Amino acid sequence: MLLAEYIDWWQQHNQQQQQQQEEEEETRASSTLLTPGPLWYCKDWHLAAFDPQYQAYRCPSFFFDDWLNELYDAREQPQPQHDVRTADYRFVYLGAKGTSTSLHSDVLRSFSWSANVYSHLLLDLHGRIPAWDFFAEDLEGLYPRLEEARSHIVTVVQHPGDAIFVPSGWWHTVENVDDCISINHNWLNGHNVHWTWALLRLERRQAEEGIEDCRELCRQDRPSPFFRKLVCTS
Ligand SMILES: O=C(O)CCC(=O)C(=O)O
């Protein structure tokens, strides 16, 4: 979806919401309400890389020491695969009220910061449980340390102009409690790069173990490049 299409959808969605609210007030009967359509969320828009001259914002000084994005900026000869979608770890998010990001911890064990340009975000930062609703009853009994993890949940309401720092490896969810625009960067420096290094080593070891039984199939002298590529990518 193009950005222009997203904005058209957003305007129509808001008109529909308003119409629904008015109808609700008039009839007070839910049977006549419009069926809600899909709720789109524009995520991971590489605005800084999309137009480097534009300089829409400056990185807050607290988050300046950023080896990850510096590495991307220092690439002198971008390869064909380095288009704007893989240009950096600097993102803008545009979301209608009610859009959300489900539970995750950040790429490469990076830190992240998130600044709220417009409207309100609700962030939950918590322990490591793979679930969206931490208080769902069907989790009971599945995780022996559920109660302990629940006691560590932190809920934050971010207001316009607020920025939040998310430490490496912290699981979090986000909900836009209003229409929202935010800026999010992932970054590394001397304080967390050891986590990234440990993760890369672990994942390399796991990948090696995972292909142990078919390693021979990836050999360069295999006759069909197509076959080799297929095996390597899977
Ligand atoms: O704002 C969002 O919806 C998600 C941002 C986030 O969790 C992140 O950048 O790691």
Which tens digits make up the pLDDT trace of 163-190? Answer: 999 999 988 888 898 999 999 999 999 9
| Residue, of 185 and 149, whose pLDDT is higher | 185
Q: Do 122 and 145 lie in a common domain?
A: yes
Q: Are residues 46 and 146 in the same domain?
A: yes
Task: Give the global pTM.
Answer: 0.77
Positions of E strands within 119-162: 121-126, 154-158
For 38-47, the pLDDT digits (tens) are: 899 999 999 9
Q: Whose CA is nearest to atom 3 of ligand 1?
A: 101
Strand order in the sheet with 154-158: 100-104, 171-176, 121-126, 154-158
Instruction: Pick from 61-75, 156-170, 180-194, 207-221 the range whose average pLDDT is largest.
Output: 180-194
Question: pLDDT confidence of 145, banded at 50, 70, 90?
Answer: confident
Q: Are residues 180 and 85 located together in one domain of the fold?
A: yes
Query: Best of 93, 121, 175 to mutate for ligand 1, by most ligand atoms within 8 A of CB?
Result: 93
Q: Is the CB of 114 under 6 A from ligand 1?
A: yes
Residue 82 sits in the same domain as residue 172: yes
Pairwise CA distance, residues 109 & 96, whole Å? 28
Let me know whether 97 and 49 are in one domain.
Answer: yes
Cβ pair 49, 84 in contact under 8 A:
yes
Is the beta carbon of 99 within 6 A of some atom in ligand 1?
no
- Work out which ligand 1 atom sits closest to the CA atom of 176: 3
d(CA 40, CA 35) in angstroms, rounded, equals 15
Q: Exposure pattern of 179-189 as b/e (b: 16+ CB <10 Å)? A: bbbbbbbbbbe
Please tell me the total count of domains within the chain.
3
Q: Provide the Cα torsion 111, 116, 120, 125; round to 10°.
A: 10
> Is the beta carbon of 184 within 6 A of some atom in ligand 1?
yes
| DSSP summary character for residue 128 | S
Asked if residue 94 and residue 34 are part of one domain, the reply reads: no
Question: Do 160 and 71 share a structural domain?
Answer: yes
Q: How confident is the model over 71-117, as pLDDT tens digits?
A: 888 877 666 555 666 779 999 999 999 898 887 889 999 999 999 99
> Residue 70 maps to which CATH number?
2.60.120.650
How many C-beta atoms lie closer than 10 Å to residue 68's C-beta?
A: 22
Host domain of residue 50: 39-191
Cα of 114 to ligand 1 centre, how many Å?
7
**Using a 6 Å cutoff on CB, does residue 164 contact ligand 1?**
no
- Regarding whether 33 and 73 lie in a shared domain, the answer is no
Do 75 and 164 have their domain in common?
A: yes
For the chain, helix (H) and strand (E) counts, in that order, are 6, 9
Note whether 22 and 55 are same-domain residues.
no
Q: Are residues 184 and 198 in the same domain?
A: no
How close is the Cα of 25 to the center of ligand 1, in Å?
34
Cβ–Cβ contacts within 10 Å for residue 67, how many? Answer: 14
Q: In terms of domains, do 183 and 198 share one?
A: no
In this prediction, residue 128 has a pLDDT band, given cuts at 50, 70 and 90, of: very low
